A and B are shown apart, each in its own frame.
Chain A
Amino acid sequence: MFRKSDWTDQKIEVVIANLLRAGVTLAAGVVLAGGVVFLVRHGFTPTKYRAFAGEPSDLREWKGIVRSALKLRGRGIIQFGILCLIATPVARVAFSGVAFALERDWLYVGIASAVLAVLMYSLLGT
């Protein structure tokens, strides 16, 4: 009635959790670097967050974000860090799916794939 693999589950999750922390650290570093570039160039420009305008297309989808970051634009680099941050839990679900496959738990491979599909749709689909 209880699953036998509690402690292997636990080990796999600890590995994944450490990867997650590495991902967050990396993403935070990228955001910080982009923030420095942004503030050095535009620190004294007035803010404009009260009126909603929406971001330009090169800060909306991943191809544009990567292109903008490669041009070393501050806002592009920050957005690339944010993209890494959003990708971190997505990677976690993918790794969990692999771990379930190693345990031959096909039901949960299916469930993890369903979650992954929703996440990919959100990130790439719309």
Chain B
Amino acid sequence: MDANYGTLDSEAGLNNLEFTVLVGLGSFMAGFLGALTGLGGGVVLVPLLTLVFQVDIRYAVGASLVSVIATSSGAAVAYLKDGFSNIRIGMFLEVATTIGALFGAFLAARVSTAAIGVVFGLVLLYSGYTASRPQVEVPTSEPPDPLATRLGMNGVYPSLTGPRAYYVHRVPAGFGLMFGAGTLSGLLGIGSGAVKVLAMDRCMGIPFKVSTTTSNFMIGVTAAASAGVYLNRGYVDPGLTMPVVLGVLAGSLAGARMLARTKTQQLRWVFAAVIVALGGEMLYGAFAGKI
């Protein structure tokens, strides 16, 4: 693969028009597969831009953050109609994710681009690993956290057998994990949905459907917190961000539309394999001094 990179290198003489078309197509595919598999396209955007198009990782992260905001806000309507999301859980945890996102954006300006590449590679490998495993509900017999009750987080969600009540557990630990998810989001320009769902499912014992939809809501707010810092620092380039945002947005809308008519399990495997491969490339690129 390495030899092919040269052809798309910006120093190989791509002009703005060619670059816009190619990046737009790539972003469309990322958004399309991300929506179709439910894994999110953000995680493959930065590797695509840095490894294939040789874009500086700081510009790539800035563009990716903006596109994460677009897809998260654009998808909110579909998620809300089902009645699964819990805005109190979301709002409370956003305190942690937005502060984490500021911290991540702060770190991004201080660590080397190679270090960002290494962290990104590891996150890709982890995302690929979790994506390839089946999603299982973790039953919990622990008593509800009194703090969750005070914060009014326990709720009800619609199920086949009528409304079902759920309780929220281990609020402080979940809050801490969410700070970590926010930091990764601000450092890498991803939605870090995988970490958010981990915190809510595994740690706080929130039902899977509630945690996924609530996490989608939080992703846009979290990304906005770091996108502001990136914009102020001059890391958001309009010429680069334009095809990325429009491509990802169009791709994710098309993917969501096709979702009802497609069997996604095999596609999930393929996309997970792509993510793992990109993770390996990212680590290699970082250690070889290419990022």
Contact = CB atoms under 8 A, between A and B. Distances in A.
Contact of B74 (A10, A21, A43, A54): A21
Given A3-B155, A49-B237, A59-B238, A92 B102 contact: no
A39 B59 CA distance: 19
Contacts of B85: 13
B246 A52 contact: no
Contact of A85 (B101, B235, B245): B245
Contact of A28 (B11, B83, B221, B246): B246
Interface in B223-260: 223-229, 231-243, 245-246, 249
B59 A52 contact: yes
A2 B156 contact: yes
Interface in B201-220: 220
A98 interface: no
B20 to A, nearest CB: 6
Contacts of A52: 56, 58-59
B48 interface: no
Nearest to B90: A96
A19 B210 CA distance: 22
B6 interface: no
B238 A34 contact: yes
Interface residues of B, number: 72
A6 B155 contact: yes
A50 interface: yes
Contacts of A108: 88, 91, 152
Interface in B47-103: 53-56, 58-59, 66, 69-70, 72-74, 76-77, 79-81, 83, 85, 87-88, 91-92, 94-95, 98-99, 101-102
A14 to B, nearest CB: 5
Q: Which label, helix, strand, loop or mixed, suits the secondary structure of the B interface?
A: helix
Contact of A78 (B87, B98, B155, B238): B238
A64 to B, nearest CB: 11
A96 B88 CA distance: 10
B16 A75 contact: no
Contacts of B10: 46-50
B205 to A, nearest CB: 16
Contact of B228 (A31, A96, A123): A123
Given A1-B154, A50-B10, A85-B66, A44 B80 contact: no
12 contacts: A1-B149, A14-B80, A21-B77, A24-B73, A31-B246, A75-B238, A85-B69, A88-B224, A89-B224, A96-B87, A111-B95, A114-B95
Interface of A: 1-3, 6, 9-10, 13-14, 17-18, 20-21, 23-24, 27-28, 31-32, 34-35, 38-39, 42-52, 54-57, 59-61, 74-76, 78-79, 82-83, 85-90, 92-93, 96, 105, 107-108, 111-112, 114-115, 118-119, 121-124, 126
Interface of B: 9-11, 13-17, 19-20, 53-56, 58-59, 66, 69-70, 72-74, 76-77, 79-81, 83, 85, 87-88, 91-92, 94-95, 98-99, 101-102, 105, 149, 151-152, 154-156, 165, 220-221, 223-229, 231-243, 245-246, 249
